[in-house]
Amino acid sequence: MPKRRCKTPLVSVSDFETAAEETMSPMAREYLQSGAADEITLRRNRSIYDSLLLKPRVLRDVAQLDTSLTLFGARLPHPLLLSPAAHQKLFHKSGELGSAAGAAAAQTIFTASSFSTVSIEKIAAHSSHALWFQLYTPPDRAISSDLIQRAEKSGCKAIVLTVDTPVLGTRNREMRIGFHLPRGIVRENLRKYGVSLTRSAHFSSTGVATTAVDASLTWEHVDWVRSRTKLPLLLKGILAPEDASLAVEHGADGVIVSNHGARNLDTTPSTIEALPGVVEAAAGKIPVLVDGGIRRGTDIFKALALGATATLIGRPYIYGLAVSGSAGVARVVEILLAELRAAMALCGRPTIASIDKSALWNHSPL
């Protein structure tokens, strides 16, 4: 890995992004940073956060700040988790092992992707903290069943079912650079899944499992996944309030408001715009988490103010991984949490429960 030439201290996520660009190949950089089509939603994920203004309050006794919360019966020290991100050995030799170790150091949950470059068993064996497992659903249900069982046996605490990818999005920047996975990662994919996957799925020349997504999926498949596991089941990729209501009806234990990092369908709302409607539809029956566009601790604060139970990041921790492996992952989380605590203090909100819409100067992200 090339040494980082910049000697400026890394004190923000944007600093890590700049530093990470020096370590990544052009192909890895385009894969990580690009969105769908003209990337309108990719920019909007960020810009709407910037348009929301905070309301500072004074003389509120913020000497003791408490960022803890309870999620699915577990007490978490803070509301920042790590989203699934595929093919992490593109960015650092440690891959998902580095991210899981960094998550453990920062006392946060790492969500292992179905497209990890390390098996869930190996990730779990090298992690000292709670893991979730993200599931794609190929047409062959035996594959999904096998992955769920392996996640359970590995000690994962929740299943995150991605529901927003019946087909892959139009990713022009990936097309222009001719994105493909290096042979070593392709071999890792084949070895990781073993006989159960290779007998049913066909890998393209890029190393991507071409049958890992299924355009025929319906809510019946959510029922099927629900029947296969007693672990908490979260549906990732919910934007429409109507889908949030259906998620409750079909037994989901939580939803993640996500537009897949703006990588699937362009000109959709940002996730922070969609969040209030999903929260209203969920009606307090299940937790609502959100990812997409978070680059500052103030963004976490704003998401909590608009009703999110917790938040997740994707690209930011991968920037940390690319710069310095597990230490970089942990540092990115630490930076964001320090910024969150500062926002809580300056807005006079000493606990997560005390953060609500009244902490925003303008309540609507529209």
pTM of the shown model: 0.93
At 40, which amino acid appears? I
Segment 91-131, tens digit of pLDDT: 999 999 999 999 999 999 999 999 999 999 999 999 999 99
How is domain 25-53+78-350 classified at the architecture level of CATH? Alpha-Beta Barrel (3.20)
H helix or E strand, kind and range, residue 360: none
Segment 249-264, tens digit of pLDDT: 999 999 999 999 999 9
What residue segments make up the domains of the chain, in order of their start? Answer: 25-53+78-350
User: Which residues are marked as active site?
Assistant: 260
DSSP letter string, 201-212: --B-TTS-BTTS
Sign of the CA dihedral running 167, 81, 135, 227: negative
Residues 289, 234: contact at Cβ < 8 Å? yes
Segment 328-341, tens digit of pLDDT: 999 999 999 999 99
The β-bridge partners of 121 are none
Residue 63 has pLDDT above 70, yes or no: yes
